[in-house]
Amino acid sequence: MGGKNHRTLAELAKALNLRSGDGRRLPPLILMTDARRLPDPLAAAMTLPRGSAVILRDYDSPARAALARRLARLCRRRGLKLLIAADWALALAVGAQGVHLPEGLAHRARAVRRNPRWLITASAHSRAALVEAARAGADAAIHAPRLATPSHPGRRPLGAMRFARLRREAPLPVYALGGVSAAGARRLKETGAVGIAAIGALQPERKCRSR
């Protein structure tokens, strides 16, 4: 695992996962790749504890297939789950453990399950989207932004209390994404979140050089 902040975030995610009752089948911590905010997803994945997951997005990258293969090898070696966003053919080709669907594709969750053991997650940014993802057969949803985050600068953050209410009404497990730092994650304790999804908070921590 990486530095102190990473370890704290992983511990908090694990506690949420166990408290939710879905810990046996769902990873507590998910790293979501982002070509702009996370330029080295392989280095970030190396800091994850065993049992975590990586969602490969990077939709427009010409090197996406090659990155998927490298991540697949790394995830197998380190005991991580790899989910490919919006490309079930690529998920099959690299031996990934599932697929992540953007909100607009969530209705296809059941149809894209090429492997009965796959984990299918879906982005859902509203109560209606959570219901749709559950009806379509998704195993879990990722909801954002929970707190203020650079990836959604113009969107009002949900906050812990509103997230907790939405989670209670949701018909499937929900991950919190967006501005979830090690400090902010403590506010998720009573919300019912199944775990934490993050981008910037899982950026590899730089080591200080001694002079």
Report pLDDT digits (tens) over 174-202: 999 986 777 677 888 889 999 999 998 89
The answer to which of 53-57, 121-125, 149-153 has the lowest mean pLDDT is 149-153
Average pLDDT of span 26-53: 95
The DSSP annotation for the chain comes to --SHHHHHHHHHHHHHHHHHT-TTTS-SEEEE--TTT-S-HHHHHHTSPTT-EEEE--TT-TTHHHHHHHHHHHHHHHT-EEEEET-HHHHHHHT-SEEEE-GGGGGGTTTT--STT-EEEEE--SHHHHHHHHHHT-SEEEE--SS--TTSTTSPP--HHHHHHHHHH-SS-EEEESS--HHHHGGGTTTT--EEEESGGGSPPPPPPP-
Average pLDDT of span 27-42: 95
Whether the CB-CB separation of 5 and 173 falls below 8 Å is answered with: no
Tell me the C-alpha distance between 87 and 131, whole Å. 23
Which band of pLDDT confidence, cut at 50, 70 and 90, is reported for residue 208? very low
pLDDT digits (tens, 9 = 90+) for 49-76: 999 999 999 999 999 999 999 999 999 9
Between 200 and 77, residue with greater pLDDT: 77
The answer to which of 111-115, 165-169, 204-208 has the lowest mean pLDDT is 204-208
Which band of pLDDT confidence, cut at 50, 70 and 90, is reported for residue 3? confident
Which band of pLDDT confidence, cut at 50, 70 and 90, is reported for residue 157? low
Torsions phi, psi for 89 (to 5 deg): -65, -45
Domain 4-202 has CATH 3.30.830.10: no
Count CB-CB contacts under 10 A for residue 73.
14
Q: Are strands 119-123 and 140-143 parallel, antiparallel or unpaired?
A: parallel
Distances (CA, A) of 178 to 37, 50, 93, 110, 199: 13, 22, 30, 26, 8
The answer to which of 33-47, 78-92, 196-210 has the lowest mean pLDDT is 196-210
Please report how many Cα atoms fall inside a 13 Å half-sphere around the Cα of residue 64, on the Cβ side.
20
Between 145 and 107, residue with greater pLDDT: 107
